[in-house]
Amino acid sequence: MSSTNIQRVIESIVSQDRFNGTAIKTQIIPLFEKVKYIQSLKEKLTEKQFEFIICAIVRNIFLIELVNDQISSTKMEVRWIVKPSEGKKQEVFDQTDPRFATFDECVLIFEKLTSELNKILDDKKINLLYKYQEHKLIPYELPIDYIQKNISKLHSVQNMEWFWNEDYENIIRLRSILITLNDYSEIFTKILKEKIKVKTYLTDRVQTGKHKTNREKRWEAHPDSVHFALRKDCLLIEKELISQILNFEKCPVQIISSTENLVIKTDTYCCPVTLNQLDFNRFVSEILNPTHGVSKFQVGHLNPLKSNSTDGKNTHAAQNIGWISDDGNRIQGSMSLSRVRELLLEISKNYDKIESKN
């Protein structure tokens, strides 16, 4: 394997105006295939599976999708690029950034992940990786993540791992069931790819402050940003939002019975601000017949995000997110849920006083 050739090809691919993922398959995979354990991995998979896994590992290890100079979109870059602060002053990306990694460091991570996969790959894991491939919400989705968030060298061989925990695997199974569920396949494909994906896996649009963001993958944002989240955390958020939907009023029995081993049935889900029940049929109607700029079903953080939060109550985490009605969203604004409820009680008492005088 010629490291020089691989580096040159990867840099050439990202230098284009538009990132072309097909080039990874056609230009980079042949350079890796000469490695002995890569050949062994290939023998265990179909050609399509092998290409998907290697391309996804290359994308997640060697590349990063940074916000562009104007904070208007994102641009794929190599992990070892040195990028000054320009345009609307996006942050500097260089050796001082925890996300930065040299090409040689990326090679070590690639070797670690591919050799580990070759050793532990069995039919169960192949089936799971197939679900990632066929029902992905974001490109190149794999169970690869950082071990720690608060570390000076985030993107390093010591801090990267495969995660095969059953709780996370069940989330992918839940997604696969809903996307292929008779009579509801279309609606859940739209819910997952048009609603949940954006609010779960991609950053908000933030044009001010030190760490500006605009729809990067949350684990590729700066780890000091309030919008950063590990991939595992995002998966748990996906499950939470799905679970809430399945507890909406009038959710069909067929859906609940198809997912009963993966989702806990609770009381009917209510908007956390207004406490009005959210109706499944109205939700479906809005998804299938959207009105531009109007949404009665939104996803919001229950408490404002804070960079110094350590208990998850003010981070991008499953315990701090939920479906909220448009009325609830307008009432809440930038307040925490607890402050909203305190304010509503104050308002209610004030009205009671006025009514008692009349």
Task: Give the CA distances from residue 302 to residues 87, 271, 272, in Å, rounded to whole numbers and listed in that order.
Answer: 33, 11, 8
Average pLDDT over residues 238-263: 95
Q: In this structure, which amino acid lies at residue 336?
A: S
Residue 209, pLDDT score: 84
Residue 287, pLDDT score: 94
Residue 18, pLDDT score: 87
293: left (phi over 0), alpha (psi -120 to 50) or beta: left
The yes-or-no verdict on residue 46 having pLDDT over 70 is yes
Report the chain's mean pLDDT, rounded to a whole number. 93
DSSP state of 219: G
Residue 2, pLDDT score: 63
SS3 percent helix, strand, coil of the chain, rounded to 5, is: 50, 10, 40
Task: Give the CA distances from residue 134 to residues 140, 218, 279, 346, in Å, rounded to whole numbers and listed in that order.
Answer: 11, 22, 30, 51
How far is the C-alpha of 96 from the C-alpha of 88, rounded, in Å? 20
Q: Give pTM, 2 decimals.
A: 0.94
DSSP state of 191: I
57-76 confidence digits (pLDDT tens): 999 999 999 998 888 889 99
Residue 9, pLDDT score: 93
Residue 105, pLDDT score: 97
List Cβ neighbours of 134 (8 Å cut-off, separation of 6 or more): 176
Residue 56, pLDDT score: 97
The yes-or-no verdict on residue 308 having pLDDT over 80 is no
Task: Name the β-bridge partners of 77.
Answer: 64
Residue 1, pLDDT score: 53
285-304 confidence digits (pLDDT tens): 999 998 888 899 999 999 99
The yes-or-no verdict on residue 53 having pLDDT over 80 is yes
Q: Nearest-5° angle of CA 350, CA 353, CA 355? A: 110
- Name the residue with tokens 């006083």: 353
Task: Yes or no: say if 203 and 215 are a contact pair by the CB < 8 Å rule.
Answer: yes
